[in-house]
Amino acid sequence: MGYGIAIDQIGEVDLYRFGRSKQIFRGPRPNLKRAYVAFIGGSEPFGKFVSTPFPKIVQKYIHIPCVNWGTPSAGPGFFLKDPVLLEACSNAEACVVQAMDPVALSNRMYSVFPRRNTRLRGVSESLRALFPDVEFDDYKYVPALMRKLQATDEAAYRMVVAEQKSAWVARMLELLEDIETKKVLLWLDMTGSGRKGGLVSEEMVDVLHGRVDRVVRVPIAVKRGKVTGFSGARDSAWMTRGVHAQVAAAVSEALRELLLDAQAQALSGGK
């Protein structure tokens, strides 16, 4: 394994550093002086277990370079802390923003590390009061802690989930406001997969509609017993080549419409 990629399965992967934090992203290194479409999100666009993640497939469909700034375990807070990335996203012809998981975000219950948003940094006194019998020092990652909290007290756990969702809506609104270009919100919807917890819901996505130009919902079927962690899987093993192709087709259609509309508006003088 290398940086979350199954090297033995897909071969050597081109990586490079970019942004204020010099975060590692999937290459090739883009030429940002030419027109491009940006993609930001978590492990899903990064494409841990595939040689061709969906941003790269989209590039073949729309014939515009697609820059993949997907980051394993990232939440919206990761991108909000990197002004270099935000500026690069704003300079794109369009930016595809994944509806990242609410778990990977600091809130009033717990905090996460800036570059590894599922790594637990600390917990609040409020969370300790809700779960007095939990040994929080035993947990280094938020997904494992969430599973423990849910198993311990379902009612108290729902209070944690409500806080996760509230923080997510606030940070996603802020992120979308800071990206000053055409925006597509990508929602990988697993609500029909029978999973519980801090998943993105339709109500949460509805709040963001006014900040984006398109919303692309891709329903994802995840079989029970086949995944672990949050957002379907800790390592996004459910993001198979078939799922990447499904996502790419939906995103490409939305981008083609959006870019054509922008081109028509430019030709008409913005009227």
pLDDT per position as a tens digit, 235-250: 456 788 999 999 999 9
Rounded to the nearest 5 degrees, what angle is found at the Cα of 229, between the Cα atoms of 123 and 137? Answer: 30
Q: What average pLDDT does this structure show over 36-60?
A: 93
Query: Which tops the pLDDT comparison, 45 or 192?
Result: 45
Rounded to the nearest 5 degrees, what angle is found at the Cα of 26, between the Cα atoms of 14 and 79? Answer: 155
C-beta of residue 252 within 8 angstroms of C-beta of residue 54:
no
Query: What pLDDT score was predicted for residue 270?
Result: 57
Query: What pLDDT score was predicted for residue 50?
Result: 86
Handedness of CA 71, 73, 76, 80 (dihedral sign): negative
Q: What average pLDDT does this structure show over 25-32?
A: 92
pLDDT of residue 14 exceeding 90, the answer is no
List, in order, residues 6 or more apart from 237 with CB less than 8 Å away: 48, 49, 226, 227
Where residue 194 sits, what CATH number does that domain have? 3.40.50
Q: Distance (Å, rounded) from C-alpha 115 to C-alpha 53?
A: 21
Q: Which amino acid is at 80?
A: L
Residue 178 lies in a domain: yes
Q: Distance (Å, rounded) from C-alpha 252 to C-alpha 87?
A: 23
Domain range for 57:
7-267
Q: Distance (Å, rounded) from C-alpha 142 to C-alpha 148?
A: 10
CB atoms within 10 A of CB 228: 13
Query: What pLDDT score was predicted for residue 229?
Result: 36
Scanning 13-141, the segments in alpha helix (DSSP H) are 43-46, 54-62, 76-80, 83-90, 125-130
Residue 2 lies in a domain: no
Residue 1 lies in a domain: no
Residue 99 lies in a domain: yes
Residue 56 lies in a domain: yes
C-beta of residue 93 within 8 angstroms of C-beta of residue 181:
yes
Query: What pLDDT score was predicted for residue 234?
Result: 44
pLDDT of residue 232 exceeding 60, the answer is no
**pLDDT, tens digit, for every residue of 151-188?**
999 999 999 999 999 999 999 999 999 999 999 999 99
Which of 24, 26, 55, 40 is CA-nearest to residue 88? 40
Query: What pLDDT score was predicted for residue 206?
Result: 96
pLDDT-derived band at 25, boundaries 50, 70, 90: very high
C-beta of residue 142 within 8 angstroms of C-beta of residue 110:
yes
CA 207 vs CA 57, 61, 172, 190, 215: distances in Å: 29, 30, 10, 18, 12
pLDDT-derived band at 227, boundaries 50, 70, 90: very low
Q: Distance (Å, rounded) from C-alpha 199 to C-alpha 101?
A: 6
Kindly report the average pLDDT of the chain as a whole number.
87
Q: What percent of the chain has pLDDT over 70?
A: 86
Count of structural domains, the chain: 1
**pLDDT, tens digit, for every residue of 54-92?**
999 999 999 999 999 999 889 999 999 999 999 999 999
pLDDT of residue 195 exceeding 70, the answer is no
Query: What pLDDT score was predicted for residue 173?
Result: 98
Query: What pLDDT score was predicted for residue 193?
Result: 59
Query: What pLDDT score was predicted for residue 192?
Result: 66
Query: What pLDDT score was predicted for residue 221?
Result: 77
Exposed, middle or buried, 270 (CB in 10 Å: 0-12/13-18/19+)?
exposed
Residue 172 lies in a domain: yes
Query: What pLDDT score was predicted for residue 191?
Result: 72
H or E element that contains 162: helix 154-178
Q: Distance (Å, rounded) from C-alpha 66 to C-alpha 47?
A: 14
pLDDT-derived band at 4, boundaries 50, 70, 90: very low
